[in-house]
Amino acid sequence: MVFKCLHHSICKLGRSSNYSTKMAKLTIFPIMAVLMVTIVSYTSSLMPDILLEREETNEIQNNPMLSPGRIMVPGPLETEKVACQFDIVKREKISGKCEKLGAAPVSFLKWILRKTTKLCELQRICYGMPSGCSRSQAVEYSLNYSKSLEIKAMTSNLTTIANEGRFNGRNQRTILEKSVMIVLQVKKINPHIHRQFIISFTRCLEHIWGYQQLIHEVETLRLLQFDSSVEEHENKLTRLWTALQPDVPLESRISRQWTDIGFQGDDPKTDFRGMGLLGLDNLVFFAEEYTEAARHVLSHSQHPQFGYSFAIVGINITSMAYNLLKDGAAKTHVYNTCKSVPSMRIFHQFYCYLFYEFDRFWIESKPKNVMQFSYIRNEFENNIRDSLSNQSTVFNINFVVNTV
Ligand SMILES: *[C@@H]1O[C@H](CO)[C@@H](O)[C@H](O)[C@H]1NC(C)=O
Ligand SMILES: *[C@@H]1O[C@H](CO)[C@@H](O)[C@H](O)[C@H]1NC(C)=O
Ligand SMILES: *[C@@H]1O[C@H](CO)[C@@H](O)[C@H](O)[C@H]1NC(C)=O
Ligand SMILES: *[C@@H]1O[C@H](CO)[C@@H](O)[C@H](O)[C@H]1NC(C)=O
């Protein structure tokens, strides 16, 4: 209808036949034609997409890789807070509001980009953004807001696996391959042409769900309480002492000497409390892997004027590292540092960096007394968070020890 009317009026213009209207006709026609083709192909592209989404639902049901069940489907618009539960088996919603799901059109901007660059959003991210935090965060964001049911099922499966600590070994490789396959299918990406995409995208998946799994591992260790009847736990305490005080033998397991390295009393086991074995493991790692740096920090903690309790502050820094990891702030450093799946080692190193830098910050602040700990600690944490909010931040763990 619209097209006919427009066409008619232009023809009328043509019939009135003078030079300027002829020129108008010559320029308007190609523009109109391009516009029409764009609109027609955009609207027609919506139809197959809707059908495709229904087919995808079927595929999920018949795909043994994806266990059928209930998945949470957030509203199609970011601002729309309502989410619905969708039963993939019965193919009906269980609760909430998800009428728009089947008919959610590709956003016009995404569609234009897809048509003009022939690449989907994930490809544009993997080809266009620098590896590390920028790329992995952008992929994470894009996957979070994907409308495809298959991709939603894939990400929720990956999250389950990471939260159960099963994202490792051969299992990890299989899961990664399957996930990449799903994305290639859904986004219709040719794997032979886009090898580089597969490599980069896999790295992003390793980052995102490796980090998720690391949170799980750290949490498990934190919830584990120090147990004197476990030989391994007792050994860790002895190792800590030996690494920090190699020239001073420990007289007995329960001893006043523990206060020399900053525990509160005769028996360190009561000092770990909220941080559990994570606090001890962090300290042992620091003392054994960066012995010089750890002894340097210990010597500062024994300073007559600016001294503090080394182990107690160390355990408090564990809680800082733990919180930064858990709320996602540490992603910047972790994604920029890791070449593949982040491991426990990266968390320990992150801790060592924090402890070493905190000590420096403390000494430079010239505190009047230990009562200022809370204030200085907060200042320090804010500085760290500031650095981490810059996507290119990497903390350099190779300490240079300047003897003061
Ligand atoms: C996740 O995928 C694995 C195979 O990669 C499958 O064995 C498992 O059942 C799936 N789990 C869920 C919760 O979808
Ligand atoms: C993606 O979703 C997960 C789980 O809801 C959330 O923890 C994470 O911060 C989100 N990531 C981004 C980049 O939005
Ligand atoms: C660490 O120190 C801060 C400031 O004093 C305190 O609020 C927090 O509870 C401490 N955390 C642990 C685990 O000791
Ligand atoms: C982020 O860090 C990089 C490298 O350290 C620096 O060049 C850049 O200016 C920083 N960006 C901001 C916004 O501070």
Query: How far does residue 141's CA lie from ligand 2's centre (Å)?
Result: 7
Q: Which residues pair with 92 in a beta bridge?
A: 87
Query: How far does residue 330's CA lie from ligand 2's centre (Å)?
Result: 13
DSSP classification of residue 94 = E
Query: How far does residue 152's CA lie from ligand 2's centre (Å)?
Result: 13
Minimum CA distance residue for ligand 3 atom 8: 316
pLDDT digit string, tens, across residues 219-239: 999 999 999 999 999 999 999
Residue type, 309: S
Among 3-17, 76-90, 239-253, 271-285, the range scoring the smallest mean pLDDT is: 76-90
Prediction pTM value: 0.75
pLDDT digit string, tens, across residues 22-70: 666 677 777 777 777 666 566 544 433 332 333 333 333 333 333 233 3
Q: With CA atoms as reference, report the closest residue to 263 among 301, 303, 231, 233.
A: 301
Q: Is the CB of 157 under 6 A from ligand 1?
A: yes
Q: What atom of ligand 2 comes closest to residue 143's alpha carbon?
A: 1
pLDDT digit string, tens, across residues 98-134: 433 333 445 777 777 766 667 888 998 999 889 999 9
168: left (phi over 0), alpha (psi -120 to 50) or beta: beta
d(CA 34, CA 29): 9
Q: Please report, for residues 24, 60, 259, 346, the alpha-carbon distance to residue 295 in angstroms, rounded to integers and kept in the order given.
A: 82, 57, 15, 21
Print burial letters for 289-299: b (CB count within 10 Å at least 16), e (below 16). ebeebbbbbbe
Query: How far does residue 11's CA lie from ligand 3's centre (Å)?
Result: 79
